């Protein structure tokens, strides 16, 4: 049984969090208070024995009730420190009530006074709602001022008021600083998570873009190269035309890849907020490099269809509705959808008749 109690006590003291962190403090304050109670506060019976007919008679026993009550309330006041962060208001209320109920012998125990001061600090530092903390402080200060009136020549409760004001201001200042630091840390973590999500989305978008560009153009190049190989001896002119189409597809692929790389590196090479050179003069257009080519849009669909036709796919374009400019993101998405569909048709249905319909 003692081993189990010892193990539970060690687990309590090692427990992470506010309560476990205050366990050693509560234990130390309790031990100190008990030591003061046993060795300093206990009154010594110095009464001389009585003599009846020249026979010594011991004096009547001293009433130990007040001393026992003082010890119990002292242990209650100091042990409550273990919960001062998780339940600051109930802990402080218990400490104040114990102080008000304790006999006069309690006043000379330094451990009890220190425990009440720690409880007052905890209310100021760990209760976020200022009206609640202020109300608890005012009520406790008035009650303790009545319990400790002070000297007859001085104002009543002056020492109590000074101690409570010091604990309140100190605790509130430290608590406010801690809350602001926690809020700043939370905002930094949220910003970091949002940045990671944005980076992941951007990587996924770049991967899709690379897939669309490389997959389509390489498929066209493979098909045209195979056709050129098959007719190289029988029809050199057709083979030459197919190889020219392969060359054109390769050049376009390189151009689109270069455009994507230029977009990715533009933020590093161009001055901007938070980058070197942001506060210097803005260079002219030549210093920034050649302007980036525009992203593909629906106006370039005829060029795409011609390239697919040269690869051997019979494709026709139908447009319904009034053609009008659309947002660049929509036009790029539509272009990539058509490009991917034609690539799949080249791969899995070569020679089939294909139709592309645009509806505005």
Distance CA 73, CA 103 (A): 10
Distance CA 52, CA 283 (A): 115
Structure confidence at residue 190 (pLDDT): 93
Location of structure tokens 């304790």: 102
Q: Is 109 left (phi over 0), alpha (psi -120 to 50) or beta?
A: beta
Structure confidence at residue 16 (pLDDT): 42
Distance CA 134, CA 285 (A): 63
**152-to-180, 184, 285 alpha-carbon distances in Å:** 44, 50, 86
Token pair for 240? 């030459």
Q: Which contiguous run of DSSP H or E holds residue 203?
A: helix 158-230
**Segments in the chain below pLDDT 70:** 1-3, 5-21, 40-65, 105-108, 149-157, 263-264, 266-294
Token pair for 270? 């161009």
The CA-based angle 155-161-163, given to 5 degrees, is 130
Enter the DSSP assignment of 238: H
Domain limits, the chain: 2-42+63-188, 189-268+290-359
Q: What is the pLDDT of residues 101-124, one digit of tens each?
A: 877 766 557 788 888 889 889 898
Report the predicted TM-score, pTM, of the whole model to 2 decimal places: 0.51
Q: How many C-beta atoms lie closer than 10 Å to residue 190's C-beta?
A: 10
**Over the range 261-273, which residues count as b (16 or more CB within 10 Å of their CB) and which as e?**
eeeeeeeeeeeee
Distance CA 225, CA 242 (A): 7
Strands (E), the chain: 50-52, 55-57, 314-320, 353-359
Alpha helix stretches (DSSP H) within the chain: 2-14, 18-36, 65-79, 88-101, 110-126, 130-147, 158-230, 236-269, 301-310, 328-348
Structure confidence at residue 298 (pLDDT): 87
CA terminus-to-terminus distance, the chain: 83
Distance CA 341, CA 356 (A): 9
For the chain, how are helix, strand and coil distributed in percent, rounded to 5? Answer: 70, 5, 25
Distance CA 12, CA 20 (A): 6
Distance CA 186, CA 92 (A): 30
């Amino acid at each position: 049984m003692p081993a189990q109690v010892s193990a539970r006590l060690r687990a309590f003291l090692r427990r992470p969090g506010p309560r476990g962190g205050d366990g050693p403090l509560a234990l130390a304050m309790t031990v100190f208070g008990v030591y003061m109670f046993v060795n300093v506060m206990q009154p010594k019976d110095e009464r001389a024995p009585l003599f009846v007919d020249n026979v010594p008679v011991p004096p009547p026993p001293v009433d130990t009730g007040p001393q026992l009550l003082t010890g119990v309330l002292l242990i209650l006041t100091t042990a409550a420190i273990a919960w001062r962060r998780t339940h600051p208001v109930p802990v402080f209320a218990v400490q104040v009530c114990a102080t008000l109920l304790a006999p006069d012998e309690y006043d000379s125990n330094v451990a009890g006074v220190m425990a009440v001061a720690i409880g007052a600090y905890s209310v100021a530092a760990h209760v976020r709602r200022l009206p609640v903390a202020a109300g608890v402080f005012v009520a406790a200060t008035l009650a303790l001022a009545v319990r400790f009136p002070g000297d007859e020549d001085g104002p009543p409760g002056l020492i109590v008021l000074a101690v409570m004001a010091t604990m309140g201001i100190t605790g509130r200042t430290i608590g406010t600083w801690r809350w602001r630091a926690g809020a700043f840390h939370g905002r930094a973590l949220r910003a970091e998570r949002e940045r990671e999500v944005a980076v992941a989305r951007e990587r996924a978008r770049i991967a899709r873009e690379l897939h669309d560009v490389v997959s389509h153009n390489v498929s066209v190049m493979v098909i045209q190269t195979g056709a050129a190989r098959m007719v190289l001896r029988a029809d050199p002119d057709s083979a030459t035309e197919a190889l020219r189409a392969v060359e054109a597809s390769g050049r376009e692929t390189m151009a689109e890849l270069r455009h994507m790389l230029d977009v990715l590196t533009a933020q590093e090479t161009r001055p901007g907020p938070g980058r070197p050179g942001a506060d210097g003069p803005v260079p002219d257009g030549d210093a920034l490099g050649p302007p980036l080519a525009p992203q593909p849009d629906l106006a370039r669909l005829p060029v795409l269809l011609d390239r697919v036709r040269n690869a051997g796919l019979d494709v026709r374009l139908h447009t319904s509705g009034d053609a009008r400019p659309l947002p660049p993101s929509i036009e790029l998405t539509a272009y990539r959808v058509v490009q991917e569909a034609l690539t799949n048709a080249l791969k899995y249905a070569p020679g089939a008749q294909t139709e592309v319909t645009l509806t505005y």
